[in-house]
Amino acid sequence: MKWMTILAPLVFSLQAVSAQRCPLPGSSCSQLENACLAALQLSEFNPADIENYHRWWSPDGFVVVAETGTYEGMDSVKEYMSYGTGNNGVYFAWSMEEGSRVPIVLSAGVGDCEVAFVSTFVYDFNEPAEEQYTKGGKISATVMGIYKFSYSDLIITGTEPLTGSANIVIEKLRGFYPNTFWKIVAELFDTKAFKKLLCKTMRKSCRSVWNGNDYCPRDCKADLRAMPPTDKYANPRKETFDWRGTSIGCRQLHLAFVVDGNPKHCAHISGIPMEDPDGAIKCQDGNSQVLPEDLFTTDELSLAYGIGQSILGFDSTLLTYEPAL
């Protein structure tokens, strides 16, 4: 099977920084801001090169997205980002709209940086696959990833093109998606074919979870038919959608990890609450809810919405969806 991604916007290549918003040399950016962008490029950081993450990520680094959770430590970061680079996930093709990437240096100290990338990404659920588990269609969305990292040994030997070397250590990646994105994607996977895949995988690869639910194939599918695509809850600040609780969306994410060979996530696709080997219970009602406002400042969110609308051309929803023909 060809497993694709839904978190690809966070893992674009960071090449050609010198041609972006804060170019090197001769831009309006400060020397420290230019150094941040130069260090990213010269470190040769490639988010898709999972096997070399030890070169760029802190052993204690983490990735966090409000709607899907936090993945901390090298093994968890590599697993989550493997999902995001197309080595795992569920059946669609993604691409970045040409010329849409807008990098902004949010903070720049001596050796410490925080850089936001705002981009348009296209998710094509009509991509041919061995089996079609979704309802099809295409989503274009504004996505923002904010990397916090330190750098050292920055040596610039040329500027046109930028040449030299640098070392970086990424401490954190915060990912922002339009909230409606999670609703649409989860609804696309709310299909008989996908539920059949989940039940089949649980029965074959997660036998203790299957037995713990006292399932037969019919009962498993019945539980999934009764399950909402996303968590939807009332919050004093706004109504949002979420993949942390009892939902198809949460199970789609963790099923991908199981298919990729990690039985630790078997408990996360269970119908009833079950602890994983670390004692955590996921994809169940009662899990803490997190909003984008809990992860991003007002200015950072304004940046995503401002660029998404004024530069990338979206309306206030920051996305468009074209149903399958």
pLDDT digit string (tens) for the chain, length 325 residues: 222 233 333 333 333 333 344 543 344 678 899 899 999 999 999 877 889 999 999 999 999 999 989 999 999 999 888 776 655 544 556 666 766 778 899 999 999 999 998 989 888 887 655 567 888 889 999 999 999 999 999 999 998 888 999 999 999 999 999 989 999 989 998 999 999 999 999 999 999 999 999 999 999 999 999 999 987 765 556 667 888 889 999 998 999 899 888 999 999 999 999 999 999 999 997 667 788 999 999 999 999 999 999 999 999 999 999 998 7
Report the b/e string of 244-281 with b at 16+ CB within 10 A.
Answer: bbbbbbbbbbbbbbbbeeeebbbbbbbbeebebeeeee
Q: For strands 231-233 and 57-65, give the pairing.
A: unpaired
Task: Indicate if 113 and 202 belong to the same structural domain.
Answer: no
pLDDT for position 26 = 41
Residue 167 lies in a domain: yes
Q: Which domain holds residue 277?
A: 191-228+245-288
How far apart (Å, rounded) are the C-alpha atoms in residues 296 and 285?
24
Task: Indicate if 28 and 147 belong to the same structural domain.
Answer: yes
Residue 186 lies in a domain: no
How far apart (Å, rounded) are the C-alpha atoms in residues 194 and 134?
7
pLDDT for position 3 = 28
Give the Å distances, CA to CA, from 182 to 149, 170, 240, 250, 319.
28, 26, 9, 10, 11
CA 239 to chain CA centroid, nearest Å? 21
Task: Indicate if 55 and 87 belong to the same structural domain.
Answer: yes
How far apart (Å, rounded) are the C-alpha atoms in residues 313 and 320?
11
pLDDT for position 287 = 65
**pTM, two decimal places:** 0.86
pLDDT for position 285 = 79
Q: Is the peptide bond before 277 cis (omega within 30 degrees of 0)?
A: no
Task: Indicate if 32 and 167 belong to the same structural domain.
Answer: yes
Task: Indicate if 221 and 313 belong to the same structural domain.
Answer: no
